[in-house]
A and B are shown apart, each in its own frame.
Chain A
Amino acid sequence: MVETSAALEPADRAREADAPHSLVVRFGADKPLKLDAGVDLSPFQIAYQTYGTLNPERSNAVLVCHALTGDQHVASIHPVTQKPGWWETMVGAGRPIDTERYFIICANVIGGCMGSSGPASINPKTGKPWGLDFPVITVRDMVRAQAMLLDHLGIGTLFAVAGGSLGGMQVLQWAVSYPQRVFAALPIAAATRHSAQNIAFHEVGRQAVMADPDWRQGRYFAEGTNPRRGLAVARMGAHITYLSDAALHRKFGRRFQDRDNPTFSFDADFQVESYLRHQGITFVERFDANSYLYLTRAMDYFDIGADFDGVLANAFKDTPTRFCVISFTSDWLFPTSDSRAIVHALNAGRARVSFAEIATDKGHDAFLLDEPELFAIVRGFLEGAAKARGFEVTHR
């Protein structure tokens, strides 16, 4: 993990953090973001992308919530990596979340590093990057900020909110915080609380970042360093949790990388090692180490039931929102049992809920991959919801 990449320096990311290649809305001192930590974030900004057209009734808006390391570039070229959007299989013309029917919004989460206020952004009080002075944020804060974005866009009710993993947590929080503003909710590979095991994995990742001497107590921008190795190790560890034993075996087995025999050294002899190192290196190019700390922390703090005295069903009592909960058989990070707990609570709250478990060996990441059954279910659920909402349903 000592290889370095010539591609992008912290300065490139820093620019993206303040002046993103996307739409951005700035909220002034009159509109502070009230954080769960008990402080106001003000001024602050939200970077977002939109796709499709808002109808005259303003009733066809779909909010897509991104996962831990995602961003607002759902279905457009990523300005830093130049790669296609992270959910182009799901969002686009003729896709299940159809840009020809819906107005799709995706905002970078608060605490992120792609243009919404976060630790890599400039602290207006000091003129320097926030670093660890940025307040700790929660999933509820992310959703609160998104609601302010929707107010700004003049959108009262969302036709749907959809997302996987941390995105799915935001979907659930939306339904709890603003039930009247969410017609349909699609939490995918999500949970109503982060498990002890998942907090443990996150802690390992954060410790890897903070153990890197280049982290400099979070002040690496000022000191001209970048905790590349720490963040790459964090990503490597996390990446394993997004896959499955079966998927790793199918893709790599015990095969050697560009060699026929072991080198009797600590080079990346195995394909799986080489793959993980690549994942680590490419991640560091596009992501801010402090953002990684903040966003993993937000996930750790997530526990909807705790906000309702431990009775999860009360969170969804008589909710008007219709839900489609989806899990994957090989996802051991957010296993089906987590989704089933959501469904039980929704049933107890008399919600209208669909729940499908999709058979795949691709693990947690399956929600981002080519899973025809996932697409069919999302499409069918949205079409049913559109019919109930009174949209014209077009059959292809």
Chain B
Amino acid sequence: MTDEAAVKRIWVFIEQEEGRAHQVSWELMGAATRLSQELEGSRVEGVLLGYNVAHIVEEAYRYGARRVYLMDDPVLEKYRNLPYSIGASKLVQKYKPEIFLIGATTLGRDLGSSIATRVHTGLTADCTELAIDPNLKILAATRPTFGGNLMATILCRTHRPQMATVRPRVLPLPEPLPTATGELIRESLDLSEDDIHVKHVGFIPREGGLNIEYADVIVAGGRGLGSPDGIKLLEELAGLLGGVVGVSRPLVDAGWIGYEHQVGQTGKTVRPKLYIAAGISGAVQHRVGMANSDFILAINTDPNAPIFQIASLGIVGDLYEVIPGLIHQVKAMQQGTERS
């Protein structure tokens, strides 16, 4: 029989909204599984809070959880800091996990610090790499800092759990095992609605809008566009590729497009799979916002533009020739797919 008190629990917070699990939870489950292989006596477990969310438990088993702790309570129907952090902290205090991983979403970043503060432990934000230190047998959580100029590996030697958040899409999504199963532990929250002084009174869904941080494809333009009309061209290519439009700061300052499109130090940090930088010179302020993109295609008339130093492929040429060329070719490929 397993000595439950001795199990080194590696916890993953299973983020859900409206009964649907956020994919980052399963990405973390994959990371937790890898960590558990390096940490003797460990076990991957999920923590699920919400209301009418028990159906997610089976999904958690398939992604690698051997056990799931469930708090299912009307107070937890919509995320709010207080009941979620109290609930999760209560579980931490009872089961004493070794490691606790949370997605670095707006929810996870709001929640993680509150849990860490309540249980008095260390939390490393927005990690890009998680490992077990081979000598210390503790979590080595690596994150970019100083605007991406420096990587720091953070250790939490004496406090438990060792907490970390990881942004969505930084880690690969594991293959679910359809037959996997696990153990469900139900726990109660014991809070009443009267204890909570924040109420949801409305929700304005994102419309026509944009979540550039989570886009897989970004077609971005800079000063080289020369005129606001160039944005239409970017939009057309982005539309064809299922992507969104990004820009460097001067275009936002000029009022050509909204701030929500701005990539860089004072805008959004993005890490799409494909970043097309058209007419962007690539000043460091822009690069820190996009240098972690998987593939960077740079198009610029200036062969000395710094963007070429980080581009996976650079095209020296006029974006007003190259982008229409790409649009044309992609459309031709689409027609090919339709025929096939």
Binding between chains A and B: no
Chain A contacts to B: CB under 8 angstroms: none
Chain B contacts to A: CB under 8 angstroms: none
